Structure 1
Amino acid sequence: MIPNLPEPNETIGELTKLLGQLAAFSDGEGPGVTRLLYTPSWANAQRFLADVMAEAGLAPRFDAVGNLYGRLPGTDPDGDVVLTGSHVDTVRSAGQYDGAYGIVAGIAALAYLKKTYGAPRRPLEVVSFCEEEGSRFPLAYWGSGHVSGLYDWRSGADMADEDGVTLGEAMRDCGFGREELGECRRDDLAAFVELHIEQGMVLERMEKRIGIVETIVGQRRYAVTLEGAANHAGTTPMTMRQDAAAGAAECIVRLEALASQWGEPLVATVGKIEARPNTPNVIAGAVDFTLDIRHADEWRLNAFSELALSEIERIALRRRLRHKITPWLATKPVPMNPALARSAERVCQHLIMPYRRMVSGAGHDAQVIAPLCPTAMIFVPSRGGISHSPSEYTEPRLLADGVAVLAAMLYELAYEEQPT
């Protein structure tokens, strides 16, 4: 059954107000929002959200790493939890929607359901995951990774940020990393629904109001080094050079062409490049660059990755360059739950809301939670596809659309009798 859903005017004001208030919790004087894990702005944001949850009639609690939950108890004391939410941390100089929208939308949806329908059968919870972005410490998904059992704060807290502060020190300074706060791992989840801005331009370009994610892509990341011979730019003939910069340039152009030939949804990106000695009148003796490859199909992801690496090797050998390729990230594509995707589709059809089934090219907490329970991911459009930027923006009416779809899905999962 599709329940009565909140009218946009009921949620737009509260959503935009909360997003603005949350954006004020930011470190530094630069543009945008900078809210890194276990910093003062992060701690203040989580405390603020705990107060907001309590005001909405939800019972707030923190776990040992600082994940914040707001709970609406169910009438079935043994019922598993229907969870929604996203992450509270940001990249440096971010916008105010990435992660934060999923949290405030979850609070708004639970508050509406409580006010309109009372207590659910199954408990409902909204989560503000402590970290997802990997912006301060050399890790990501520190919040959802503890929920899934990927991490253990007791043994993995000795890595340091760029100032030499260890993760364990930062965690304890914020009052976390203590046994009495309770276990992070969850084995009581019936479902997880994450609402998020798209962080891409597909929905806007196709004039769709909702994206229903079918798969979150797998990723392969590599660090590549090409080594030739640094030499004088004026006295070394072109035919006698071992130019690492020219070799890197050929690799990059070749990789772009190959990825274009394979077609969507495969993408390949060289995002960082450094030449050595990086001097105007010296032929580059070495170049380091990164390679990021993503696809929704694991076989094709692996096949393209092997092809890409063989092309780098071929170019290096022809140019008499030494090469080193170091893999540093390998994640599998993660499918979302088909039944939950169909639920979202029914809601969109009922509301006559244009939607699109799609692949997520970015990583999200949903991919970490998916092995634990049926998981869904819903997108709303991003203006211009801009994200991780102060220019990140989604129209308030589209934010309200997401809340309506989320509320309907949570109603079905938590209020209606579920098949055994």
Structure 2
Amino acid sequence: MAQHDAIPDQPSISHWIEWLATYGQTENGGVTRLLYSESWQRAQEAMKELMLQHGCQVRFDEVGNLFGRYPGREQPKAIILTGSHIDTVIDGGKYDGAYGILASMLAAHLLYLKYGPPKKTIEVVSLAEEEGSRFPFTFWGSKWVTGQVELEEAKALLDSNGFSLEEAMKQAGFGQPTLALKEKEKIEAFLEVHIEQGVMLERKQKEIGIVTDIVGQRRYTLQFQGESNHAGTTPMSMRKDALRLAAAFITHVTEEAERLDESLVATIGKVVVSPNTPNVIAGGVECSLDVRHANVAYLDAFEKIVFDYREIAKKQNMQMDINRWLNIKPVHLSDKHVQLTRQQAEEAGFSYDVMVSGAGHDAQVFGTFCPTSLIFVPSHKGISHSPEEYTHWQELEKGVEILKRQLYTLAYE
């Protein structure tokens, strides 16, 4: 079992990130915290202790989202929510998600130390899940908070071992309905600060990214069915080679993505070949497809290209099946918050860029539910979802400073 450092005595974003990274740390310096895994559970419990040590009222909700609250002295039922997600991809980086949670905790705590209880409630959230790395479902945590999912949906979602989301959730101690709050609370705003996961801020030498829009995402599972046969005795003209079909498809759709629009991205990230034997023609191939753009029209046009390829498979006496299991629409974030962030960056003397996010974030779920702000800090070389993910501590602190200013404006003024 990995050794975990004690919570650092002095509040520091860089020290806190190193501390939290010990939960789920991999051999090569990455982090793996899949939803409801042991490392995920230990990380959430560690965050609970951090929140308690810094004077928060703490609670878990039904699906394992963790909340640390500084109650408002004048409008306690008006919630300014800030945070990000605790889960990671397999062997991911230590900043993705974790930075947003810890920056929120630090910003809220520093304000509380200096000004006392806020007028409106500040609540820091460590969201259960965003990545979709274990189950074929993303934003489980934020969708629960915003009322977009039901516990019943967890029964049909299976991981690669056939374990259901419902089983995993209950094994981790969650998944049971709880009593509703007697008095209705309202989330008045959601604030998220995140590493960019791209290279634009670093290349432009900007300190802060102010996000106006988050791209839509569609994810598919594609299956190509041919016929397994002997590699030496089956003539090329008589083969039903599923891998050859899949390879031609991959080349076709990636070239079409470039042709359609420079901002459209299409990624085949996972391929499984069956029977995956050197001297046997592949009879089946399953692969993933991830497509992103900020305009629904382009997503629709590209989806037609994907589905039309079934006719090519049919002409080759093979079959292609397509399951679109994720369809997230592009989200335009609060113009008011964009303007507020610009003003605060200028007041702080930070250079900034106004930009579109090519990665998905919990902010896009909240963006359709309440006024939402998404702030970026630079990622070194644009590397993310990797142990090589890195942001300098000074840049991390600038994100905390902007978030602190936003929280003060929204919860204290």
TM-score where L is the length of structure 1: 0.86
In the TM superposition, 1:288-327 aligns within 5 A as: 288-310=286-308, 312-317=309-314, 319-327=316-324
Report the CA distance between 1:147 and its aligned residue.
0.5
CA contact (8 A) 1:87 1:99 kept: yes
In the TM superposition, 1:36-75 aligns within 5 A as: 36-75=34-73
**SS of the residue aligned with 2:189?**
strand
What per-residue deviation string (whole Å, max 9, x for no partner) do you get for residues 43-102 of structure 1?
Answer: 332222222223323222222222211112223235511110011122222221111101
Deviates further, 371-380 or 63-72: 63-72
Match of 1:6 in 2: none
Match of 2:350 in 1: 353
**SS of the residue aligned with 1:114?**
helix
CA contact (8 A) 1:191 1:373 kept: yes
Aligned AA for 1:96? K
Match of 1:109 in 2: 107
Report the CA distance between 1:349 and its aligned residue.
2.3
Aligned AA for 2:287? F
Distance (Å, rounded) in 1 between the aligned partners of 2:286 and 2:178: 46
Report the CA distance between 1:297 and its aligned residue.
0.6
- Is residue 329 of structure 2 the alignment partner of residue 332 of structure 1? yes
**1:161/1:27 CA distance change after superposition, 3 Å:** farther
**1:235/1:78 CA distance change after superposition, 3 Å:** closer
Deviation above 6 Å: which 4+ runs of structure 1? Answer: none
Aligned AA for 1:367? Q
**SS of the residue aligned with 1:348?**
helix
**1:177/1:247 CA distance change after superposition, 3 Å:** closer
Match of 1:148 in 2: 146
RMSD (Å), alpha carbons: 2.8
- Is residue 211 of structure 2 the alignment partner of residue 213 of structure 1? yes
Aligned AA for 2:357? S
Report the CA distance between 1:317 and its aligned residue.
4.8
- Figure out how many residues of one structure are paired with residues of the other and give that number: 404
Report the CA distance between 1:104 and its aligned residue.
0.7
In the TM superposition, 1:16-415 aligns within 5 A as: 16-26=14-24, 31-77=29-75, 80-153=78-151, 156-157=154-155, 159-162=157-160, 166-180=164-178, 188-310=186-308, 312-317=309-314, 319-415=316-412
Distance (Å, rounded) in 2 between the aligned partners of 1:338 and 1:396: 29
CA contact (8 A) 1:250 1:315 kept: no
**1:226/1:138 CA distance change after superposition, 3 Å:** closer
Report the CA distance between 1:280 and its aligned residue.
3.2
What per-residue deviation string (whole Å, max 9, x for no partner) do you get for residues 206-228 of structure 1?
Answer: 22222122222112222333344
**SS of the residue aligned with 1:190?**
strand
Aligned AA for 1:60? V
CA contact (8 A) 1:147 1:186 kept: no
TM-score where L is the length of structure 2: 0.88
Distance (Å, rounded) in 2 between the aligned partners of 1:173 and 1:235: 51
What per-residue deviation string (whole Å, max 9, x for no partner) do you get for residues 89-146 of structure 1?
Answer: 2222222111110111001111121223333222111111122223334433222121
**SS of the residue aligned with 1:339?**
helix
Match of 2:7 in 1: none
Distance (Å, rounded) in 1 between the aligned partners of 2:256 and 2:77: 50
What per-residue deviation string (whole Å, max 9, x for no partner) do you get for residues 197-254 of structure 1?
Answer: 1122222222222212222211222233334444454455545544433332222222
Match of 1:3 in 2: none
**SS of the residue aligned with 1:123?**
strand
Aligned AA for 2:195? I
**1:164/1:31 CA distance change after superposition, 3 Å:** farther
**1:297/1:159 CA distance change after superposition, 3 Å:** closer
Aligned AA for 1:350? E
**1:405/1:171 CA distance change after superposition, 3 Å:** same
**SS of the residue aligned with 1:205?**
helix
State the identity as a percent: 47
Distance (Å, rounded) in 1 between the aligned partners of 2:241 and 2:173: 53
Distance (Å, rounded) in 1 between the aligned partners of 2:38 and 2:299: 40
Runs of 5+ in structure 2 lacking a partner?
A: 1-9
CA contact (8 A) 2:57 2:69 kept: yes
Runs of 5+ in structure 1 lacking a partner?
A: 1-11
**1:36/1:223 CA distance change after superposition, 3 Å:** closer
**1:252/1:409 CA distance change after superposition, 3 Å:** same
What per-residue deviation string (whole Å, max 9, x for no partner) do you get for residues 263-301 of structure 1?
Answer: 332101122223344333444344333222111111221
